[in-house]
Structure formats: structure tokens, C-alpha cells
Amino acid sequence: MTCPLCDAELDRSTLLEAEAGGRSLRGFRCPRDHGTFLPADLYFAWREHYEPADPPAEAVPSSDEVGDVKRAKLCPQDQHIMSRYRVRPEGGFWLDRCATCGGVWFDGEEWDATVEAGLLNRLPALLTDAWQRQADREVAHDGYEDRLRDRLGEDLDRVDGFRAWAWQHPQRHLIFSRLRERPDEPQETAD
């Protein structure tokens, strides 16, 4: 197997030492420190025998902090193009996964960041379409909130406060109906 970034032969390596009757997690590392490859079969064999307790979730570093390489890569195991998966919506890094063999490539320091953030146990969930859709929705929502804040400034807090109050009101349908009317339109009176 070769590194998808520099074509160096990957070295077989122990990624995590065995603890309390478990087994070591084995994988492959680039000798030039470009990254780590974790074949799916080795990961699931390890998880079958040992379920590590996730440490408290730490802040996930950004792509730049872990040396994320933002270009297409070929899987070291089967040479298929790998897909990028967002680890966390709030500015985290991306992992590369092969859809054919399920192996995962960790650029630069992504392996250490994944372990330190307590994400190793949740790796299969992170690499699903459902997780990615949710992450994309959160990123879009955060972007929308940021644009609103840029345009409305402190008035956004007033709008949000009113909206929260209106949603709790028993006659909220009348409040929202009234808000949809233009102020200069003549109002119909109910007789």
C-alpha cells in the first residue's frame, strides 16, 4: 500500500495500544508523516474485542490545524477515489473514506485529533450520509444566522425575542397573520 499523497510505501503500525484485555488497533502510517490509513476490517476487528470509553469531547481542531489536504485521494488499499466526510459541522476537519473497502485516510494530525476528541468510537456514524446531511444542515443554518446577524445587528436579538414570545402565545396564528400584512394595506374589519 502506498501513501495517497506522496506514493511512499506505508508502514504497518500500531495506532492504539491494547488496554485491559483488549487488542491493539493496527493500521498503516506514511513514513513521511503525511497521514494514517485505517482499513475497515482492522477497525471492526478491534471494535469487536474492545469498546473504548470515549473521553470527554474536546474541541475539534480546524482543517488547517491538523494538516488537512483538500484534494482528491486514491485509497491506499484498492486505488478507488476516496470521498471526503466532515467530522463536525462547527469548523472541524474532514476525513477521506473509500466507499469500496471502507478504509479511512487521516491526513497529517487528523488521527491524533480524532482520538483526542473522543471520536474514534463514533467513526462509523461520522462516515454516513445521514451524518453528513445533518452536518450540512447545521453549516447552512449557522451561515444563515451569521448573514442575519450581519444585516440586522443587535435588532436580531429583538426579533428572536419577539419570535420566541409569539410562538408561546395561544393566539400565535393571529400574530403571524398580522405580521404578514403590509402596514399600508387597509384592514378588513370583522362585523
User: In degrees, to the nearest 5, what angle opens at C-alpha 32 toward C-alphas 27 and 37?
Assistant: 20
How confident is residue 29, by pLDDT bands cut at 50, 70 and 90? very high
- Measured CA to CA, the distance from residue 107 to residue 82 in angstroms comes to 13
> Beta 35-38 vs 11-16: how paired, if at all?
unpaired
| φ, ψ dihedrals at 89, nearest 5° | -65, -30
Tell me the pLDDT tens digit for each residue of 85-106. 888 766 678 899 999 999 999 9
Q: What is the pLDDT of residue 48?
A: 83
Q: Sort 147 into a burial class: Cβ within 10 Å, 0-12 / 13-18 / 19+.
A: exposed
pLDDT tens-place string over residues 130-147:
888 888 888 888 888 889
Q: Report the share of the chain in percent with pLDDT over 70.
A: 84
**Residue 184 in this model has a pLDDT that exceeds 90:** no
Q: What angle is formed at CA 36 by the lines to CA 35 and CA 42, rounded to 5 degrees?
A: 170
Question: 86 pairs with which residues across the strands?
Answer: 94
Q: What is the mean pLDDT of residues 33-62?
A: 76
Q: pTM for the complete prediction?
A: 0.69
Give burial (CB, 10 Å; 0-12/13-18/19+) of 26.
middle
